[in-house]
């Protein structure tokens, strides 16, 4: 079978496949708000006022981000874990129903990076501003500079990490997606810290408003103890977030390098365009990540959550443990994502 025939056949069979899974959501009534992780439930609540008052999806996204970035104890925003040099550097992006998008990366000492990303989208001809340039832009636009002290939790985590870890840049960094050194000298993103807490901290959000318009946003302090200057998927449109108002949207959490390598959320949306359901589209993208990482797929985590234009939603992750929160008029709860590998048993 030649390639074209195969693609055509896949496109024809895709709609059939998409209804074969019992884990798929039943299409919800608009509006819908979806956010990653347990904290997503509170984020959805913070955004719901706008959606229920017939407001725009993009405003709901910003409201959700502001809520979570304000929570100093949470890992998103300035309360998050620093990079290995001790700086909290923030990544965020936003995308609306007209394919407008904006992002910031490596932004320091600004409380609301997603709002800065929105300003980039709305007031500049650019998509992504980084580091000092992003900071300068934020200050020019009325954002105020915050204290550079780490939050109490982040300081504790960082001090603990410093005891065991040495600064040791990896030479073949392009072959090693993450820079957290574990006790065997290997560089992987730990699924769990020593105290049992999970290494996840990214708030990915998707909103569909009553008009059916879809927007999304991501805000994060990024991978804990990353190299200074490292940018993750959360600032990269098509990786950590993608919206196509004709099809739907997807967002991600986990090892950003793997998401970037697969143009993760763009790939998910393209699978949905071909007729696959949100969960299956996420699964097929995760399968690519696993295929690209045969040797270490078991030690990395990536999760995608997606919603299609009909309001059906679903998720899929490399590992068990990824969860996402959904709010509609009927639903307000956290869902466990489908996954490829069962969670490894903890050694202790």
Bridge partners for 206 per DSSP: 34, 216
Q: Catalytic annotation on 202?
A: yes
Say how far apart CA 312 and CA 282 lie, in whole Å.
13
Residue from 117, 223, 236, 306 touching ligand SD4 (CB under 6 A): that is: 223
Our CB check for ligand SD4 shows the closer of 240 and 275 to be 240
Structure tokens at 17: 């496949």
> At its nearest, how many Å lie between ligand SD4 and the CB of residue 220?
5
- Pick the stretch among 20-28, 60-68, 196-204, 336-344 that binds ligand SD4 (CB under 6 A): 196-204
For 272, counting Cβ atoms within 10 Å of its Cβ (0-12 exposed, 13-18 middle, 19+ buried), the class is: buried
Considering 13, 23, 123, 202, which one is annotated as catalytic? 202
Cβ neighbours of residue 173 closer than 8 Å, sequence gap 6 or more: 179
Site residues for ligand SD4, 8-47, by CB under 6 A, read none
- Pick the stretch among 215-223, 242-250, 272-280, 319-327 that binds ligand SD4 (CB under 6 A): 215-223
- Pick the stretch among 104-112, 124-132, 232-240, 312-320 that binds ligand SD4 (CB under 6 A): 232-240
**N-to-C CA span, the chain:** 51
> At its nearest, how many Å lie between ligand SD4 and the CB of residue 240?
6
- The DSSP output letter for 177 is -
Question: Is residue 233 involved in binding ligand SD4 (CB under 6 A)?
Answer: yes
* Contact status, residue 235 vs residue 219, Cβ threshold 8 Å: no
Question: Is residue 222 involved in binding ligand SD4 (CB under 6 A)?
Answer: yes
> At its nearest, how many Å lie between ligand SD4 and the CB of residue 318?
12
Site residues for ligand SD4, 250-289, by CB under 6 A, read 253-256
Q: What is the b/e burial string over 173-201, where b = at least 16 CB atoms within 10 angstroms of the residue's CB?
A: eeeebbbbbeeeeebbbbbeeeeeeebbb
Our CB check for ligand SD4 shows the closer of 21 and 336 to be 336
Question: Is residue 232 involved in binding ligand SD4 (CB under 6 A)?
Answer: yes
Our CB check for ligand SD4 shows the closer of 65 and 255 to be 255
Cβ neighbours of residue 90 closer than 8 Å, sequence gap 6 or more: 77, 78, 80, 104, 106, 107, 108, 110, 113, 219, 220, 221, 222
- Pick the stretch among 58-66, 101-109, 216-224, 275-283 that binds ligand SD4 (CB under 6 A): 216-224
Say how far apart CA 216 and CA 305 lie, in whole Å.
12
Element (H, E) at 49: helix 40-52
Q: Please identify every residue annotated as catalytic.
A: 202
Binding site for ligand SD4 (CB under 6 A): 200-202, 220, 222-223, 232-234, 253-256
């Amino acid at each position: 079978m030649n390639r074209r025939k195969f693609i055509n056949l896949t496109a024809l069979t895709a709609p059939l496949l998409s209804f074969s899974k019992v884990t798929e959501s039943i299409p919800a009534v608009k509006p819908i708000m979806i956010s990653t992780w347990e904290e997503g439930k509170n984020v959805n609540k913070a955004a719901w006022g706008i959606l229920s008052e017939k407001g725009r999806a993009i405003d709901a996204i910003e409201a959700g981000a502001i809520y979570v970035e304000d929570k100093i104890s949470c890992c998103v925003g300035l309360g998050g874990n620093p990079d290995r040099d001790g700086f909290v550097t923030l990544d965020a992006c936003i995308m609306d129903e007209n394919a407008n998008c904006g992002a910031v990366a490596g932004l320091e000492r600004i409380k609301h990076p997603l709002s800065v990303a929105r300003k980039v989208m709305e007031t500049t001809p650019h998509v992504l501003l980084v580091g000092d340039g992003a900071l300068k832009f934020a200050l020019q636009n009325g954002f105020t500079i915050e204290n550079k002290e780490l939050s109490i939790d982040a300081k504790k985590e960082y001090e603990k990490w410093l005891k065991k870890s040495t600064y040791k840049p990896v030479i073949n960094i392009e072959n090693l997606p993450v820079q957290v050194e574990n006790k065997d000298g290997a560089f992987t993103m730990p699924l769990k810290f020593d105290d049992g807490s999970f290494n996840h901290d990214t708030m990915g959000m998707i909103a569909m408003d009553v008009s059916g318009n879809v927007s999304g946003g991501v805000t994060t302090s990024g991978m804990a103890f990353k190299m200074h200057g490292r940018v993750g998927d959360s600032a990269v449109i098509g990786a950590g977030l993608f919206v196509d108002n004709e099809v739907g949207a997807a967002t991600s959490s986990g090892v950003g390098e793997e998401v970037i390598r697969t143009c993760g959320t763009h790939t998910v949306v393209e699978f949905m365009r071909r007729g696959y359901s949100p969960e299956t589209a996420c699964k097929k993208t995760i399968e690519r990540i696993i295929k690209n990482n045969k040797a270490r797929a078991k030690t990395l985590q990536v999760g995608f959550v997606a919603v299609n234009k009909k309001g059906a939603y679903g998720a899929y992750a490399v590992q068990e443990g990824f969860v996402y929160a959904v709010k509609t008029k009927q639903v307000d709860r956290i869902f466990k994502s489908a996954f490829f590998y069962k969670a490894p048993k903890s050694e202790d």
